[in-house]
Amino acid sequence: MSLDNTPEQSKLGRASAYADQYDPSLLFPIPRATQREAMGIREGALPFFGADLWTAFELSWLNPRGKPQLAIAHFTVPCETPNIIESKSFKLYLNSFNSSVFVDQDAVRQRLRADLSEAVWRGSGRTGSVGVKLVPPAAFENEKVRELSGLDLDRLDIECSQYQPAPELLASDTTQAPVTETLTSRLLKSNCLVTGQPDWGSVEIRYSGPPIDQAGLLAYIVSFRNHNEFHEPCAERIFTDVWRRCQPNKLAVYARYTRRGGLDINPFRTSWPQALPENVRTARQ
């Protein structure tokens, strides 16, 4: 059974009443398939591995004595889940914990894991699990802030004239010896698919193969500037375009977006199985 949820049916861009008691029905899953099909990605034949790494900075609940508790939450949503969670619904859902009583932090973690896992697999007839880690206030100082690693593409003084995704800008030099390198840019910007609000991000591209033309890659990243799409398919579009146009032997794309409403979404896609990136924030987040 497929899930018949579209972005237009979500709470994005609408006035919303904030629930003051725990309410898992607020979660609004959106199928990944529609946007993947537009990129030529078939369900069941993903060209990548990876996950969407979410961070929630505004999570609170009450202990049995009514005292507010706090935590930063890290969520890991596998990219093979059939659904994403629309971000405003995620925020409303997290807010519903604010006046709800839980025995302890582990009870909160288990509730989050169960609800999110159900939502991202809903309608598929399959089950799986979302990773949930809660960081208590005593460990906040251990949360890392660093820039993405690699050679900074933004150093290049290029002319930019295209502001919708332009994969034709991508090229690699197959006459040269293969290289292994990491290239980064802070100039990734797209817009929310529904509201049109800007989404600001940085992107790290690691690959092995024919050297990619760096000026063309930067112009391609800039070309997302007026594009309307959610974070997750933007990262998948970058991966797919680079994979097809530049033909690397290995490729990993990691996009880190600035937070909105206390949430950030950071998709990671890779052509080979590997450990997920650490939950770190860039200076812009």
Residues noted as catalytic: 192, 199
d(CA 228, CA 195): 9
| Residues whose CB is less than 8 angstroms from the CB of residue 145 and which lie 6 or more positions away in sequence, other chains included | 280, 281, 282, 283, 285
Give the DSSP per-residue string, 185-241: EEEEEEE-TTT--EEEEEEEEEEEESPB-HHHHHHHHHTTTT-B--HHHHHHHHHHH
Distance of CA 171 to the CA centre of its chain: 26
Tokens describing residue 66: 């009514």
| Token reading at 203 | 């992107």
Cα–Cα dist 187/183, whole Å = 12
Q: Is 101 exposed, middle or buried (0-12, 13-18, 19+ CB in 10 A)?
A: middle
Cα end-to-end span (Å), the chain:
38
Q: Give the β-pairing of 151-152 and 179-191.
A: parallel
Residue 49 pairs in a beta bridge with 270
Question: 247 and 167 in contact (C-beta within 8 Å)?
Answer: no
Question: What is the residue whose two structure tokens read 């033909």?
Answer: 247
CA atoms of 10 and 3, how far apart (whole Å): 13
